[in-house]
Amino acid sequence: MEELKRRILAEGENLGRGILKVDSFINHQIDTHLIFDAGRELARRFADAGVTKVITAEISGIAPALATAHALDVPVVYARKTRPITMAGAVFVEVAPSHTKGGDVFLMVSGEFLKPDDRVLVIDDFLASGATISALARLVKHAGATLVGIGAVIEKGFENGRQDLAYLDVPIVSLAVISDMSDGKIVLE
C-alpha cells in the first residue's frame, strides 16, 4: 500500500489534537481506486479466516468495509448510530466514547443480521484509540458470533488502540501506521 502512504503524506492534513484530515481520498471524497486496493489488501490478509460477514460503523467505515467485503464476497453490516424507523425488533447495542464529538455514541445492529454461526471481520477507516472498534467487537460477541479479525486503513499508532484491543486475541491489520502527529508532523512507520 505504498500509494496509500504516498497520499497520506501528500494530501493528509494534521489539524492538531491528533486529528488527520484525509477528506480528499477517504472520508468525504473517496478515491475509488485507492479504497478498492485497500479492500483487496485487507481481504488478502484475512483470506484464510473463513469470514462470513464484514461489520463496520456508519459513516466513514462503510466505504472500506464494502470494498473489503466485495473482495471477500460476503455481505457487510454497518452499525447505526441513530435508530432508523426501519429498525424494529431485537437490536444489539454497545456504547463508545466519541473523541471528535465528545459524549457517547451508541452503535446498533439488528439482531437479524448477526448470528451465532457468523465469522465476523471488523473493518474501519481508522484505528485510533480503538474505542469504536472495541464496541463493534463487543456487538459481535453480544450476538454470539465469532470475531475473526480487525482491519483498518490507517492506524494512529501513537493512540495505542492496538494495545487496548489485544484482549480480543484476534489479528489486527492496518495498511498504514502513523507513528507521530506531534508539532504538526505526519510521520509514517
Instruction: Give the interface with a copy of itself as residue ranges (CB under 8 A).
Output: 13, 15, 19, 21, 23-24, 27-33, 35-36, 58-59, 62-63, 66-67, 69-70, 73-78, 80, 84-88, 100-101, 109-110, 112-113
Nearer to a copy of itself, 109 or 176 (CB): 109
DSSP letter for 184, please: G
Given a contact cutoff of 8 angstroms between Cβ atoms, the answer to whether 39 and 45 are in contact is: no
Nearer to a copy of itself, 30 or 135 (CB): 30
| Alpha-carbon dihedral sign for residues 12, 13, 18, 22 | negative
Given a contact cutoff of 8 angstroms between Cβ atoms, the answer to whether 107 and 92 are in contact is: no
Q: Which among 114, 69, 71 is positioned nearest to 92, based on CA atoms?
A: 114
Given a contact cutoff of 8 angstroms between Cβ atoms, the answer to whether 108 and 79 are in contact is: yes
CB of 152 to a copy of itself, least distance (A): 17
Beta-sheet pairing, 13-14 with 20-21: antiparallel
Please state the φ and ψ torsions of residue 73, each to the nearest 5 degrees: 65, 45
Nearer to a copy of itself, 68 or 174 (CB): 68
CB of 92 to a copy of itself, least distance (A): 12
CB of 169 to a copy of itself, least distance (A): 26
Nearer to a copy of itself, 56 or 165 (CB): 56
Is the preceding peptide bond at 59 cis, omega within 30 degrees of 0?
Answer: yes
CB of 137 to a copy of itself, least distance (A): 18
CB of 110 to a copy of itself, least distance (A): 6
Nearer to a copy of itself, 48 or 73 (CB): 73
